[in-house]
Copies of this chain bind each other. A is one copy, B any other.
Amino acid sequence: MDEEGLAALAHSSRQLLLPPGTTIVEEGEPALAFFNVTRGTVKLFKSLPDGRRQITGFADAGQFLGLSTAQTYSFGAETVDNVRLCRFMRPQLETLLTDYPSFERRLLAAVTDKLAEAQEQMLLLGRKTAREKVASFLLDRMKAFHQTANRRQEAETLASVPMTRVDIADYLGLTIETVSRTISAFRRSHLIASAENHRIRILSVPTLTNIASGQKAE
């Protein structure tokens, strides 16, 4: 993207700093804005009338969220930790798309990637066991940390897990007790170890990878 484009982008956006647990968009409300996360982690979710909730994804720094063709948001979004994000109002976004085709192309690529991610998550939710789900989750968090953090040697096998057990359970389609038990079992088997600051160190990436994909390797 060219300099001019970036300038226009920055000009039409507004920065927000939000503490943990802040609602960014509410399911069913008019879809007036579009966001880009620049720091922290945001959770996206859908709910049933009786309160059951499914977290459909976590948006880490660099991710977009809030795109919608409908008049209203079909999902809710809330901050997990301290989050900084850029907000684009809808009309400005449309202008940007038209004026900067390269931006539109990048957006199309980003949404396509999100769709592939969603398909992977459907496989997890529909066909994996609790054990496989938690293993997949930890590896995903490790990869996300890779991309976001400065890539120091020691951080290679670290996973950032800023969300609570409730969030993890609602993301994996499990209960908090099952998540807790499974993580404990991994710890007892020395596959992972706790680290400071809501982080988990993965002691055996290959083994966890095998578990995540359903090979029954121990």
Contact = CB atoms under 8 A, between A and B. Distances in A.
A53 interface: yes
Contact of A105 (B49, B104, B112, B114): B104
A125 interface: yes
A213 interface: yes
B118 A119 contact: yes
Contacts of A70: 116
A214 B101 contact: no
A50 B128 CA distance: 11
B115 A108 contact: no
A173 B122 CA distance: 9
Nearest to A113: B69
Given A56-B122, A108-B107, A109-B69, A50 B214 contact: yes
Nearest to A126: B173
Given A69-B113, A98-B101, A104-B108, A118 B120 contact: no
Interface in A49-74: 49-50, 52-54, 56, 67-70, 74
Contacts of A47: 123
Contacts of A120: 46, 74
A90 interface: no
Interface in A35-50: 44, 46-50
12 contacts: A46-B119, A48-B123, A48-B127, A69-B109, A74-B116, A74-B120, A104-B105, A108-B111, A114-B115, A115-B115, A118-B119, A126-B172
The 6 closest A-B pairs by CB, nearest first: A126-B173, A118-B118, A125-B125, A54-B123, A56-B119, A54-B126
Interface of A: 44, 46-50, 52-54, 56, 67-70, 74-75, 97-98, 101, 104-105, 107-109, 111-116, 118-123, 125-128, 170, 172-173, 213-215
